[in-house]
Amino acid sequence: MVKAEKKVGMFRIGLVFVVSLCILAVLSVLALRIGSVSYTTAEILESIFDPSSTIHTIIVNLRLPRVLLAAIVGMCLAAAGTLLQAVMQNPLADPGIIGVSSGASVAATVVFLVVPSWTSSLPVLAFLGAAAACLIIYLMAWKRGVEPTRIILAGTAVNAMLGAVSSFLTLLNADNLQGVLSWMNGSMAAVSWADVRQLGIYGGIGLVLALLCIKPANALQLGDDMAKNLGLRVNGMRILLSGVGAFLAAATVSVVGMIGFVGLVVPHITRLLVGSNHRVMLPTGMVLGACVVLFADTLGRTIAAPMEIPLGIIMAILGGPFFLFLLRRGRKK
């Protein structure tokens, strides 16, 4: 009986993963086809082998890098949210809510407005900003160790403070606001292959590190006492997982700007579909994250065409109600 139930569970997990990949493939094709000018799949395939055609230029130089970047962004933010929720032992944790993304945002804002010559070092500086935010959060939350509740409260306070710093910097540099505002809203309007390569490298490193954190993430969700009995250094693992989550969030912020709620919504949906075992949850969440961000970005550039709604705004519209739903659901329990 137990073996039969286990087989059914594995079949369901495999089915969810395969269906998620199929949805991602369909969304990718639709994103390539839909735009200010729409093309058929046959026209797109023909244009690939005709570099001189206008369709080839639009698809290969504009739409394809955007599709790939959206998928990578979704994977990175979903993985970051999953790890941070394991650290906080709370499904409401998210890189944007607890201040990690805000630390990267402050660093990036300083680069854009004060020292634009440092733009080439933006990923590293964004990570340092996110790491500094994590350090402040842990210092504020530390009291003979770190408890998840104190981390969340400290993170919320740090998020508010860093948000105020970003606003103050933008006010001081009002003449250079146009590009910064687009970036702060999480726009992918002007992405290029260089952005794909940059996030592909840093995001790829972060995703590999995230996969290596599966075992401690599973141990942490059992509770501190059980994790200690399993030989896990709880405080050290919390700092390690937070660092990997911060790295992933910083990598995305440095390329596309502030995008909220992906790290909140996707892990929760994944948990409902495949359970809370990170060995399954993390890779499935990466695929679902790619689907969510690609859908949101395609919706943002088509729903009000020719005007484009930034990805960050679309995710706030979609993710805000879901966050309130989680709060309501938590109160009922």
Burial of residue 54, with CB atoms counted within 10 A of its CB: 0-12 exposed, 13-18 middle, 19 or more buried: exposed
Q: Tell me how far apart the alpha carbons of residues 240 and 235 are, in angstroms, rounded to a whole number.
A: 9
Q: If you average pLDDT over every residue of the chain, what do you get? A: 84
User: Mean pLDDT: which of 19-33, 79-93, 105-119, 189-203 is highest?
Assistant: 19-33
What's the pLDDT score for residue 202?
92
- What pLDDT digit, counting tens, does each position of 260-290 carry? 889 988 998 999 899 889 999 999 999 999 9
Q: In whole angstroms, what is the distance from residue 221 CA to residue 260 CA?
A: 24
Which region among 5-9, 189-193, 196-200, 222-226 has the lowest average model confidence (pLDDT)?
Answer: 5-9
pLDDT digits (tens, 9 = 90+) for 116-150: 788 777 778 888 888 888 888 888 877 766 677 77
Residue 40: both structure tokens together: 């058929």
> Domains of the chain by range and CATH?
69-332 (1.10.3470.10)
- The 10s digit of each residue's pLDDT in 240-257 is 898 899 889 888 988 888
pTM over 0.85: yes
